[in-house]
Structure 1
Amino acid sequence: MFLALLVGAGGCELEPITSQPPGNPAPGNPPPGNPPPDPVPTAPSAPEQLETHAEPGMVMLSWSPPKSDGGSALTGYRVSAEPPEEAQEIAWDGVMARVTGLRAGASYRFSVTAVNAVGEGPATRSESVTLPDVPAAPPQPSVVRGDGQVRVSWTEPGSDGRSPITGYLVTAHPQGVRVTADASARSAVVGGLLNGESSTFTVRALNAVGEGLDSPASLSVVPATVPSAPASVEATVTIRRASVTWSPPASTGGVLVRTYVVTLEPDGLAREVDADTHGFEYSGLKDGTAYTFTVAARNEVGEGPKLRSASVRTPGVPAQPGAVSVTAGIRSATVTWEAPAHDGGAPLTGYVVDTAPSGTRVTVDASTRTATFPGLSSTQAHTFSVAATNILGSGPATVSAAVRPLPAPAEVTDLQVETSDAGCLTISYALSQPDEVRADVSVEVDTPGSGTFSPATQAGSTTHEGLLARHASPVGVAHQFLWNRAFDVPGAATVRVRLSARVPGTTPGSATLERTLPAPARRCELRLPTSTVHPLSTTARRAVKGDFNGDGKLDLAVASDSSDTVSILLGLGNGSFQPPRQQTLRYNLNRLAAGDLDGDRMEDLLWQDGYGNLWVARSLGFGGFADPVSYRVGYSELGSTADSSIALADFDGNGSLDVATLGGSSPLSLGILANTGDGTLGGFAGKASVASSALLAVADLDEDGRMDLLALGQSWWGSAALLSNGDGTFRARSISAPGAHTLQVDDVDGDGHLDLVLAREGTSNEIQVHLLRGDGQGGFSTAELVDTLVDATSGFLPDVALTSVDMDRDGLKDLVVTLRWKDVLAVLRGRGAGSFEPAVLLPSGRGPFFVTTGDFDGDGGEDVASVQNHSRDVRVWRDAPERLSLPRSPGGALAQGDFNGDGKMDLVSASVTDSVQVHLAGGPEGLRAQTPTPVGSPVFRLVVGHVDEDAALDVVVLRSVSNASTLGLLLGNGDGTLRLAADIPVGAMPSHAALGDVNGDGRTDLVCQVMDEPEPGYHTQEVRLFLGQGDGTFAAPTVVTTSPNPGALALGDFDKDGALDMAVAQDSPGGGLLMLKGRGDGTFLPPVHVSSEAGQSSGHIALADMNGDGYLDVVRSDSIHNTVHVVTSTRSWMLWEGWTSPAGGNCSFVSVQDFDGDGRRDVLCANPGMDSVSLMRGEASRWLAKPQVFGVRGGVAELGVFDVNGDGRLDILAGGYPTAHGTLLLQP
C-alpha cells in the first residue's frame, strides 16, 4: 500500500492536476497565433537533504526545496511511507512533516516529491528508520527478606528499546503489591507483606514507549523478624544461687524460635538454651549482691529484645548499722547504734564494735545495741566502728566521729608549805593523773579560818613554776609554787592553804594544809597600785600571749614595728616579766599570733608576711623558737591596723588548732589551713568571700560548743559569720556592721550571748565605739554607739586597739581603748546591760599602740597589758578596783623635808605657776596644801636646808629662766609656810646646788654648779662655793673645780673626818665622778677622778650607806645608758670602787631610801620620757636587785619618797615638769 500526500509549496493542499486536448489552450493561456510562447514548464526536481528522526510512535521528516521548480511555482510536496500503516497520519509544516500512527520497533522508509502545476517531480527517498520500543525484560531479581518486607534487587535489562529507561516496576506475587523505582535504582523495598507468607517478585523496566516485559520471577522468599521479648521473666535466689524462668514470646517473628539467651547482670555472664527450655539456674554467685537477669528469644533472623527480671539480691552480710553515737566518760566511752537497714537476707547473729587507735574489740548479741569501753586514754581522740554479723559474716562497719574520752581528775598529793619567816614561801606539791594530762592549778589561803579562801598571791620567780598546765603522771610529778605570804598574810598567823588542780573538763582535785607561820622578816617583793612597766629595746607594735617556755606562767611575744625581731618577755608569775630576749625570725612580724599547734602546751608563733606566706615558728620550750616554716596562702591585702588577720581554733574536731587566715587567689579569700594533728598544716582551703583586709576572730557565736569564725570588713561590706559544723565546713551568715579597725567578741551586756564591740577611727581624731548585741545564733543586732572618744591631734590617723575585761572586779565587763596620741588608755566601765560609764583615762606611757588581756599574775582574774610604741615598753594593769584611777599629786619641781617640825616628812613643790608651796603630810588624809609663795618665775629645781640658822627648813629655788644668775630663797616659818627672802647672786646660770656646812663654822654653805659665759660664745661649767653668813646671805663665791665638765653634785662626809666632802658627776669626756675631799675650812683637795663603774653621762647624785659599813656611798644615775652606779670607799681617799645596775629607764633623778622597810637601802629613779618610776631593792650582798618599774603620769623628772598618809610605809610622789600633774603611789 502506498500512501502519498500532496502538500503545497507554502504548506497548503493543491487542486488535482488535469491535462487539456491538443490545440485547445488551457484556460487563461493566450490563443494560438500569438507571439511564441515561453518555454513549457516541467515537473520540479527532487527535494534535497531529506532527514529523518524517529521518536516513540512517530518520525519527524525535514528536507530542502528542490533545486528547480520546473518553471512553475511549487504547489506542494508529496510524502509517502513504506510500509504504510492504517493509523498512520502525516502532518506537515513547510519543509517538515511528522508521521504518526507508526508501530513501536517497526522500520520504515520515507519518500518526498515536489509538486507544481505540471505535476509531481522525482522522489527523494530516506534510509530505513526504526522506531523506539519498550525495554527488554531485566534478568531474574534477587531478594532479601525483612520484617514484613522484602528488598528486591535487579540489574538493568539488555536493551532500553532505543529509549532511555525512565523507571522500574516491582511486583510481589501473589499479593499483587507493586512498587515503582526511578531509573537509577537497582533495588526497592516491597512492604506491606505478612511475615511468614511466601512471595516471588518480578521487575519491569519502563521507558517513554511504555512498560517492558517482566523479568523472570525471583526465588520464593518469606518475610520474617526476630522474636518479641519473652512474655515474663522471674528470678528467685538462695545462698549463692539464682533460678530464672520465663514465658515464650508473643511473636516468633514469622519463623520458629530456635534458642533462648539468658544473661546475668552485672557480671554479663550469658547462657543459651534450646527453644523448649523455659528456665535456668546460676550458681557460684556472690553474697549480698544484687542481680538482674535478662532473657531474649532467638530465631533464624536473630536475637529479639531482652526482658529484664526484677532485681534480686543473694543473701549476704548485713548492711551497715545506723548512726553510731558515742558518749564520752571518764577514760571511757559508751557506744550506741541503730540496727542496720537490712539483715542481708539472713538473721542477725550479733554486732562487733572496734575502737581505734587502741584496737580494743567488743562483741555483743543481736538484741544489744550498746557497748562500753573502759580504760581509754583521754589524751587522744578515739573512733568506734560497729558492724552487724549473720551466718555469712560481718557486714560493713559504721564509724563514729572521733571522740576524746573525758580525762580523769588530777590528784594533789604531798602538799607542803615552807614555814620560815621569809616574805615568800615555797609551796610544794605533786600531781598525779593516769594519762599524764596537764592540770591548771590554783592556790588559795584562808587566813581568818572561816572557810573562806582567797587566791594566794603568786610571787615572781624564775625557779618556781606558775599555775598553768602543770605536768602530771600516774605516780605523781613534783612542783613548786612561790607564795607572796608577806602580801597576803603580813603578820604571824595560822593559815590554811588549799591547792587545787583541774584537768580541763573535770572536777578539780585538791588538798588542804594548815600551818602556823611566823611574821615575815622581809617582804620578798613590792606591789604598787599602778601598772608595772617592762622596757623594750625596739619600737613595739603588737604582742601575743602564751606560755612559751612551759613554766606555767603567761609570757608575751612582742613584735617590733618594722623589723624581723620579736622580743620574748618570759612571765615571772606576778604580773612582771624577765628582761626581754630578742630573737630574729624573718619577714614582717606586724601581724603576730600565737597558738599551740603541736599540742605540747606551749604556744607557737604564726604570722603573715604580706606576700602570700604564712610562717610558723615552733616553740622550743625555753622561750626560744625554731626556724620558721612557711605555708603558701596566696596574696592578701592586710590592713593598716594592729589587729590580727589570723585566728586559731579546732574547726574540724580533731583536737588540734587549725589556722584561719586571709589569702587565696580565688574569690574565697578567707580560708583554713587544717592541722594534721602534729602541728603540720595543710594547704589553704578557701571557705568564704570576705573583704581582703578583714579582721578575724573566733568564738562560739551560735552556742553549739564549736568555735565559729567571724570576719569583719573595714567598711560596711565584706563581713560574715562562719558557723562551724565541726568537720571543717561552715554555714555562712551575713553580718551587717559598720567598718572597724579593731574588734572584740565578748558578752559585755551580761545576757549570756556573745556580743561584738567595734572601734572605728573617724575624722578629727575621733574614735567611735559600737556595740552589736549577739543573739546566740551567730547574728548580731544593729550597731549601737557606745561612746565617741577623742585622741590628741597628731597629724596622723589615730591608731586604735580594743579589749574587754572586768578590770575593777565588779562582775561587769569594761572596755579598754587605746588613745595613742593622748598617751592613755580609755576605760569605759561597765554599768551592766551593755551600758558604760564615761571613759576614765589611765596614763599609759608614750603611744599605747596595742592592748590585750591575760592572767599574768595568776590570781584567776584577767589583767590588761598594753604595748607602747613611743616609750618602747609593755605595761600590765593587774585587775583590782583601784586600777581604774591613778591618784594625782602636786607636779612641778619637788623636794621634801619636815616643814612644820612635827617629825614627819612634808613636800614642797612648784605645782602652782611661778610659786612654791608646802604640802604637809603624815596623816590618813594625805597631803594638806599650804598657801603658795610666789617667786616671780618658773621653777626648775628646789633644794631644802637650814639657811638662816633657825629651826625651820628653808628652800633654795633654781629658776627655769635662761641666763638666770641668781637663786631664789624662801625662808621657812616653821609652820609649813614660807616667806620670800632676797635672791642669792651666783654670777652665772645655775643648774645644780647643795647645802651644807663646808667650813665647819656652824652655818650652812652653798655649793652650786653653774654655766658661765666669760666672753660671748665661750661657755664654761664650774662648781662654786658660797659660804653662808647665817642670815640667809652668802659670801662671794670661790671656784671649787672647773674640770672637766661638772654636773650634779652632793655634799657628805665620806671619810668620817668631820669635814664635808663633795661628789660631782662628770658629764663629758670620760664621765665618772669627781671626789673632792673637804679640808673643813671651806676648801677642798684636788679632785680624784673615779671612772670605773661610775657612770658616763648626765644623771643625778644621792648619798647613802649602801653596803652597811657606816660610810656614805655615792649613787649616781646615767640617763643616757639607763644605769645606776654605786661607788663606795675602800677607806682610802684615792681608791674607790663601783658597780653598775640596770635602772629600768632613763633615770634622771635618784632617791635612796629604805623603801620596803627591811633595813636595806633601796634606789628609786624617775624616768622622764618613759613615764615611769624604777625601784631597785637593796640586797644583802650590797648589790641592787633587778629593777621593778611602775607607770606614772607623763612629765616625771623628780621624786618625793616619804610616808604621805601616816601608815608607816613610804610612798612615792612623782613630779618634775611645771605643766604636768604629779602621781601619788601609796605603798600598800
Structure 2
Amino acid sequence: MTINDIDNHRHLMAVVLDIESTDDESSIIRENIDVQSQHSIIVLEDSKSNDRQDVKFDDTKIENEPIYKLNDYEDINRDLIAQTEKVADKTNINCKQHNERMVDKTHSAHNRKLTKTINIDKLDSDPIIGYAQERLLPLAKACASLCSIIYDLSFYVQKALHETPEEPANELTIDESAAIRLYTMEWEEPHRSLYSELNHTLKKESRENLRPYFKYLKLLVTALVKLPCVPPLPIWRGVTKNLSAEFPPGTIVTWWAFSSCTTELTVLESNMYLGNTGARTLFSVEAINGRRVRDHSCFVTEEEIILLPGTRMIVQSQLSPATDLYIIHLKQVIPEDVLLEPPFEGALLYPKPKYYWYRKKRFVIPLCLIAILSIAAIIISSVLGTQFGSKIPAYRCTDPNPLSMSSETGQSPIYVLSGDFNNDNKVDLAVLNQVDQSIDLFYGNGQGTFPSQITLVTGLTPLSMIAADFDHDQNIDLAVTNQIDKTISILYGNGNAAFLTQTTYTVGKRPRSVTTGYFSNNHTLDLIVTNYNDNTISVLLGTDDGSFQLQRTYPAGKGPRSVISDDFNKDNNLDFVVVNQGENTISVFFGNGNGVFGSYLRYAVGESPDSVIAHDFNNDTILDLAVANYGGTTISVLYGNDEGTFGFQVTFEAGNGPNSIIASDFNNDGQEDLVVANWRDNTVSVLFNNGNGSFHQRQTYATGATPSAVIAADFNKDYRMDLAVTNYDENTISILINNNSGQFESQIRYATGKKPRNMISNDFNNDNKADLAVINEADGTIMLILGNDDGTFQARVPYLLKKTSSSIASGDFNNDNKLDLAVTNTDNTVSILLGDTYKIFQISMSYATGINPTSIISTDLNNDNNLDLILVNQDDNNLSIFIGDGHGSFQNSTTYDVGKRPISIVSYDFNHDKKMDLAVANYDGKNISILFGNGDGTFESQIMYKSGTNPCSIISIDLNNDNLMDLIVANEGENTISVLFGNTNGTFQNQIKYKTNKGPCTLLPGDFNRDMIMDIAVVDKRSTIVELLFGTSNMTLESQKIYPTGNWPCSAISNDFNEDGKIDLAVINRDSNSIFIFLNTCQ
C-alpha cells in the first residue's frame, strides 16, 4: 500500500512533534544587534519556489526607534518598528522546502507537561493569561518588543506582510493573516525561527518571560480563533523514541506550546521525519479545536493544522502494531480551568457543542475516529516499512459488565435518556415512567451509581422524550410525547437539574415519539412528533423564546411509532425517518430547509418496528438505519445511499421484543455497535459491529422487568459507554457499567415512577456529571436521577408529568446551557420541561402531536442552531416535526407520512448534503423509512427499506468503517437485529440479520469489550436481559454476553457512569419499575 493509497482511503493527519533539543547550549541563539536606519521594501517577482513568490529588497529610510527591553513592561506605543541588521545576500529568500515545525529527531521531557498526582514542574499550573489585555496592533507594532530576541525579525515581518493577499481568507485582516504566516516561516540557519523561540518560552520558561510576546500573541491567537475549527479528527504526531512507558493510560497531558500538524501521511515515509527503522512513537490525538492554516501559511502545499497552547488530553490506550513502533491514543478534553485566556470577549477557543439527541445521548465518543485509529495502526506500520508475521489481535474483554446495580423507578419505565443534566461533567439518566406519568432523573456521581432522582410532571401517559435547548438559555430542555393528552410537553431546564412547569402543545392522537432539529434553518429548534393513532407526523416550528408554533401535519404510515432526524440526502436540510409500527415499514421524509417536508419514501423492516436510529454502520460515509422490530426478535439495518435512499433491510437477532435500539462503540474497537432493549426477554442485547456493517452474535444482559428503552452514556467517566435501561413493569431503571471491553457489569437498579417507558442521559444540573431523565408512562412524570461521576446516581426524586408519556428526549431547547426534556404523551402531545439552576424541571408547554407519538428525538433540522423535535406518531403512520425557536418553544408540527406504526426514529445526514435526514422504524411495516431533509426543517417523501418483523428500535452508526452511516434495527417480532449498510448516496443495502434473544427492543452501539471494534448492546425485553454482540475485524457480530435485567426492559442507554473511561449500560425495566446500571470492568 502506498502513501497515496492511504490518503485516498482515510483523511488521517500525521505530524512529528516539534520537540525542543536536549542540548541546552544550542537551544537558544540570541544576538544584540544595533538598530539600522535602512528598511528593506519587498518587491514580489512572478517566479515561484515551493509555491512561494520570490522576493527582493530595495532600501528605503525609516525612522529609528529604541528596542523594547526584555522584562520591561511599560506600554510602548510606537508607529514604526526598530529594524534589525540586514544581510547583503537576501535578494532571493523563500520558504524552506522542509517544514521544521513538523520534525524533531530528539526528545525532551520538557516538551510536555504531565498533570499527575505529583506535579514537579511549576509551569503545569501556570495558565497563559494577561496577553488578552493588550491592544490589537498591526503586525509591525505587535512585534516591536521582540526585535532584540528574534534575529532579523523585522525582515520576516515585512516579508509576511507582502506575501499576504489584500483580501485574506476567512475574513481575517491583513495583519491577522500575516501573523499566522510569520509564525509558519523558517529562519535561515543557524538562527532560530519565531515559532521556535515562542514555543521554547511557552514550554520551558516562566510566564514572566512570556511578556515580550504578549502583543504578538494577542494578534496571533485572535487570528487563529477566528478560523473555524476543523471537524473532530485524529491527528498524528511522531517522535523518534519509545515514549510508551511515559504515557500510561489515564495520564493527563498538557501541551503548552502551539502544536503544528499536517494531514499528509507522506511525512511518515521520509527519513526527514520518522523513517523506517528505530524506535518511533506516534501520538494519535482526537483533536476538537484544531485550526487549518493552509490559506495563511508559508507552506501552501501542506494541510497544516495548529493546536492552541494549553491543549489538554487524556491517554486512552497504547498499541504496538510492529517492532519499535508505538501508538499512543490521546483524547483532547476541555479543561475545567482556564489554561489559555481567550484573546477577546466572546472568543471561542473550542467549537460550540451541537446536540444531536436523535442518538439518545448527549455525550458520545467520536466513534468514527476510533475506527480510523484502529485501521491506521495497521496502515502506518506498513507505511513505515514494518512487517507483520501475523496479525496482532487487539485486547478483547469477554465480560464487560459482570456486576450490575439497580434502582427503582416509577411504574412502567419505558424510555431512558442519558446526558449531563446538572452540568457536573458526569453522565445522568432520564427515565420516562408511563404509568406513574413521571420522569425520573438519575444524577450520576461519576462512579456508576445514581442515588438521586427528581420527578417532573408531564402530560397523560408520556411515552418518549428528547432533550435539547429550545429556548437558547444554554440549558437542556425536555420535549415529551403525551399519548392520552394528544400533546407534547416542553419542560425548560435551568441547568441545575430543575425544570419549569411544563408547557404543552397539541399534536395528533397518541403521540408516541418526538425528535428535534433545525428543520427550518432559522437557528431555533423545531419538533417532530409521531401521532400513532391518526397516522400522522406533527411538525412544530420553534421560536426564539423556546416556544413552538401550531403544528403542521404530515401523513405517515400506519402507526408511526418513532422518529429521528438527520440529513439523509446531503442537501444540508434535515430530513426525518418515521417508524411505522402498524405496517412494518419506515418512512423517510425529506426536508426543504424551511420546516416543510416533501414526499417520503417507505422501506420494509421487521415486524412491529418500534424505534429507529441512523448511523454510518458500514463506514461508507452514508447514513444507515437500524430499526428495532418489536414484534419479533430482530433488528433491521438498512444501508443508506447517497441520495437519501436505503437498501433492503438486513436483520440481526436481538432478544424477544426489541423495542429500543441505540448505537455506540462499546468495546472501543472503533466500530459502532448496537444495543437493543428486549421488551419480552427482560434483557438488552449487545451486537458488536464487525466494521463492515455486519454484527457479531448478540450478547445479552439482564435488566429489570420489561425493558422499554435503552440509552448509552458515560456514567462513570471512564471513557467507555455504559447503558441505562428503563424497566417498564417494575418501575426501575437498570444501569449497566461497561468494564472496558464491551462487557457490562451486572445491572444497578434505581427506582423510577410507574411504568418507566423511556429515558435520556445528560447533565441536567450543570455539575459535569451524567444524570438520567426517565419518563414514567403510568403516572405522567419524568424522574431526574442525579449522577455521582462514578457510575452511580443519587436518590430518586420524581418529576410528576400528570400525563402518561411514552418517550423522552433531552436537549438545550432554550439555549441556557441547561438540559431540558421533551416528552411524548399518550394524549397525543409532546411536553417540554425546561431545566433550571435548582435541579428542577419546569414544564413550559405541551404541543399537540399525531396519534400515539412513540419516539422523539431532537436535532437542528433547519440549520438555525436551535434544536428541533421530531417524533413519530404510531397510529397516524407519520412523524411530527416541531421547529424550535431557541427559547424553549416550538412551532406547530409538520407531519410526514412514513410506514405502518412508526416506532423509532434517528436522524443523520445520510446522503452527505449537510442536511439532516431521518430514518424511521415502522413496527407493522417490516421496514424503515428514510426521509431526506431539505435543510429548512422540511423533508422529501420517504424511501423504504425492508427490516425484520416488528422493527421497534433503529440506530445509525458507521459499523464497517467506510465513513458511511449504517442502520441497525431491532426486530422485535422475529428476535433479530438488522444491519443495513449505507451507500455514498444516502441509500442503504439489503439488511443483514443477527439473532438475538426474545424481544429485542433497544439498540446501543459501542466498543464494550475495548478491542477497538464496535459492538452492539441489545435489550431483550421478553428475555429480561441485555445482550452484547461483539464486533469482529471482519465486520460481523460473533459472540455475545448476556446480563439479566428487571422485568420487561424496554429502554437503555450507554455511557460512562463511573468516569473510568469505559462504556457502561443503563437499562430501565418497565414492569419492575427499576433501572439497572451495568458498570464496565474491562481493562
* TM-score, L = length of structure 1: 0.31
Structure scoring higher RCO (CA < 8 A, sep ≥ 6) equals 2
* TM-score, L = length of structure 2: 0.34
Larger radius of gyration: 1
Q: Identify, as 1 or 2, the structure richer in helix.
A: 2
